Amino acid sequence: MRDERASAPTGMPAPTRAGEAMSAERYIEKVQTSIQLVLETQREPIAEAARILVTAIRDGKRLYSFGCSHSFILTEELVYRTGGLMLVNPIYPHGMNLSVRPMTMTSQLERLEGLGNILLRNSGAGQGDALLLASTSGRNAVAIDMALEAKARGVSVIGITSMAYSRSVSSRHSSGKKLYEIADVILDNCVPAGDAAVQFEGFAQAVGPLSTVTGVAIVNALVCQVVQELIEAGVTPPVFVSANLDGGDEHNARLLAENADRILYM
């Protein structure tokens, strides 16, 4: 009998035997399950977070975003992005994003107490502003210090974390606190402890992390909700148009100039 696997196109996964699920499919199914769980459980937290951001925008305040290592990807998704709010200012995780070498240093620096306070104090964030703060484990010192410093300065904190992960580990901060115990609102990214989701028989380490996929979905859903509420309130949302569309450059330049007092990344 001809082996159907041998006929698979070059570069494509070979077909699986009857009843055997492809691991690629298993990962996509895990993504779909997690996104559906976000949809079912995070409606009210997203609505509450949107109200915080809308209030800050209407009051002429600033928006900030931060995350260490891969969590900073959510900030990168929000900032200078087609269809995204112009007003989100990144707080760069100096030495903790993936451009640092050696890259393993990111894991050391995100545990360093005192650094999060310094980053927040020098960001310009103050009374009435809002901060999106992503940490999937919610346990490391930089995120916790930043949340504490933000709260002390009257900055509203919207945390993005995994409640399952955070509740399964201890804090690495001297306060004993984790992000979900400090933030004003928590958006649960609904990923498991350890983040990775696909397991294999005879291999201990799960693969296929989920937090970037669900985190990006959450922050973009949040932006959509904020824009809707601003429109309903009669406020024109400052949103980027693709620079690759005709008129995009002119649109973006005009709104960037109009909102220059709240945009710090230019």
Tens of pLDDT, residues 186-241 = 999 999 999 999 999 999 999 999 999 999 999 999 999 999 999 999 999 999 99
In a domain, residue 6? The reply is: no
- The answer to whether the beta carbons of residues 114 and 174 sit under 8 Å apart is no
Joined together, the tokens standing for residue 42 give 């995070």
In a domain, residue 202? The reply is: yes
For residue 5, name the pLDDT band (cuts at 50, 70, 90).
very low
Domain containing 210 — which CATH number?
A: 3.40.50.10490
pLDDT of res. 241: 97
Pairing status of strand 130-134 against strand 156-161: parallel
Total number of domains in the chain: 1
In a domain, residue 193? The reply is: yes
* Segment 162-181, tens digit of pLDDT: 999 999 999 999 999 999 99
Q: Is a pLDDT exceeding 80 seen at residue 2?
A: no
In a domain, residue 5? The reply is: no
Task: Tell me how far apart the alpha carbons of residues 205 and 213 are, in angstroms, rounded to a whole number.
Answer: 20
Overall average pLDDT of the 236-260 stretch:
96
Q: Is a pLDDT exceeding 90 seen at residue 258?
A: yes
pLDDT of res. 121: 97
Mean pLDDT of the chain: 92
The boundaries of the domain holding residue 91 are: 43-262
For residue 20, name the pLDDT band (cuts at 50, 70, 90).
low
pLDDT of res. 97: 86
Cβ contacts of residue 60 below 8 Å, gap of 6+?
Answer: 262
| Closest by Cα among 149, 129, 76, 137 to 111 | 137
pLDDT of res. 35: 98
For residue 88, name the pLDDT band (cuts at 50, 70, 90).
very high
Q: Is a pLDDT exceeding 50 seen at residue 58?
A: yes
In a domain, residue 27? The reply is: no
Q: Is a pLDDT exceeding 50 seen at residue 132?
A: yes
In a domain, residue 34? The reply is: no
Q: At 41, is the secondary structure helix, strand, or coil?
A: helix
In a domain, residue 9? The reply is: no
For residue 98, name the pLDDT band (cuts at 50, 70, 90).
confident
pLDDT of res. 21: 73
Pairing status of strand 196-200 against strand 203-209: antiparallel
In a domain, residue 76? The reply is: yes
Q: Is a pLDDT exceeding 60 seen at residue 10?
A: no
Give the least confident one: 39-48, 105-114, 158-167.
Answer: 105-114
For residues 9 and 194, the model is more confident at 194
